[in-house]
Each structure stands twice: as C-alpha cells, then as structure tokens.
Amino acid sequence: MSNFKYILYDKQDAVAVISLNRPETRNAQHEPLLRELDQAFSLGEKDDEVRVIVLRANGPSFSSGHDIGSAEAKEYHKAHPLKPGAEGRYWSEADKFLGLTRRWRDLPKPTIAAVQGWCIAGGLMLAWPCDLIIAADDAKFSDPVVRMGIGGVEYFGHPWEFGARKAKELLFTGEFIDAQEAHRLGMVNRVVPRAKLDEETLALARKIAEMPPFALAMAKKAVNHTLDAMGQREAMEAVFSWHQLAHAHSQLVSGSAIMGMDAQKMKQKSGTA
C-alpha cells in the first residue's frame, strides 16, 4: 500500500483502489488533496498490472465538495496566493478543477466511483469523471453553488448526468437527490447496501478487469468521443468561462467570489447536519 497524506493507494490484484482520506472534513477537497489524487490516478494508469481503478472514500461521506472553510485550506491559500483579479482564479481553477477532472475522465483504463453519504458540488466532480458510479443506499447528491452566485461547479456535466430539465431544477433549488433517484436518472449504475459498497464495487472491478485491456480502452474512448461529438467538451469550456464570470460578479457585488459563503453557512442553507 502506498500512502500519501490525504490519499490512500492500494493495489488488489488487477485493481487499484484509491481512497480519499480526509474523513474529518467529509473529504472536502483542497488543492493538496487534488494533487495527490492526480498522482494516485497516474500510478494506476502507468502500472501495467492494473486493469481497473476504483475511487472510494473513508468516513461517512464520499465528498462534501471544495474545501471552503478549514484552517488547513486557509493556510494553504495564504501560502500560495493567486494573482490579483479574475486572472488568478481563472488559471488556477482551469488547472486544478477542470484540467484534472478532464484528464481523469480520459484515462485509458476503466474507473469506478464508490459513493456513500454526501456527494456535494465538488464531490460530483470526482464521481462524474469516473466511467461507472456505484452508490450506497445512503448516498445523496447535490450541487447547491447557485447560493454562492455561481451557475454550477467547474466540471459542468449536469445536462448529461441529470437530463436538461432535472439539471435546471437541481441547480435552481440546490436540493439533494437520493441514490435511487440518481439511479432512475441514469447517473448511477447500481445502488447497493452501504455495508456492501466496497465488496460490490470491487467485485464489479474484478469482473471488468478480466476483459481485454485494449478493447476496454477503445470502448471507453468510443463513448467519450461520442459525448464530445455531441458537444460535451465544448460546452464545458464555455460554461467554465461563465463560471469565472459569476465569480467576478460575486466579488464585485458582495466583496466575496462566493458571496461570503463558507462551509457552515452552506450547511445551514442546505438543511444538512
């Protein structure tokens, strides 16, 4: 087992298992976690013995989204200040959010996300780039960032994952959907009991790992290319720019790029505990 500070990496036969390991923050994502996650995905990608990569999380939730409140995240931002104005945020988020997630989406090996508990906003950006999503029966999904004055997270997969009208409803309201609704919408492949999430995910990964690896890579490339031909990649580029415009607008009208929201205020607005 290879350990990072915020990620655990383990190889079980032909399956690489990556675990988010900030349970005390419900696996909120600050930049150090995202960089380690990228390194872990690269380990699995470059290892010829690995046929399938699983992304899971320790603790009660898969991910509560971007880290917008912990002391650790604030210290990191203080030590790594952005360039002033919209420029700094634009290039930083283009790299660490949109850039990394699209790279993970296009890895040549099948990837499976195992999701339990909360999968909120930035949490969707970790699950959606994976090829398959297995949800525990306690999983809940939401993108409430319209409350921050932003029209959705940086990896804007919403219309493809939810369908256009449901995407609008969930963005406009910030409401959660449960695992069964996510499955009905086609965003989730399977729903399993929470106690069997790891077992069922690993069983599926091992089954896929028995398939010819180049054929798997070509099948994945075929589906992703079809989505891109339908405009997914081009749309994400455009929406990311509008996302940055919304940050700039929020900064101008409120003095904060996220309308003064922090983790506690988002919990209160979302009605979460």
Q: Which CATH class is domain 2-270?
A: alpha beta
3-state secondary structure of 223: helix
Tokens of 207: 């089954």
Instruction: Report which DSSP code applies to 24.
Output: G
Q: Which residue, among 235, 228, 229, has the nearest Cα to 154 in the 3D structure?
A: 235
| Predicted structure pTM score | 0.94
Residue 106 burial (CB < 10 Å; 0-12/13-18/19+)?
Answer: middle
Between β-strands 2-3 and 7-12, what pairing exists: parallel, antiparallel or unpaired?
antiparallel
- How do the pLDDT tens digits run along the chain, 273 residues long? 667 999 999 999 999 999 999 999 999 999 999 999 999 999 999 999 999 999 999 999 999 999 988 889 888 888 888 888 889 999 999 999 999 999 999 999 999 999 999 999 999 999 999 999 999 999 999 999 999 899 999 999 999 999 999 999 999 999 999 999 999 999 999 999 999 999 999 999 999 999 999 999 999 999 999 999 999 999 999 999 999 999 999 999 998 888 877 766 766 666 655
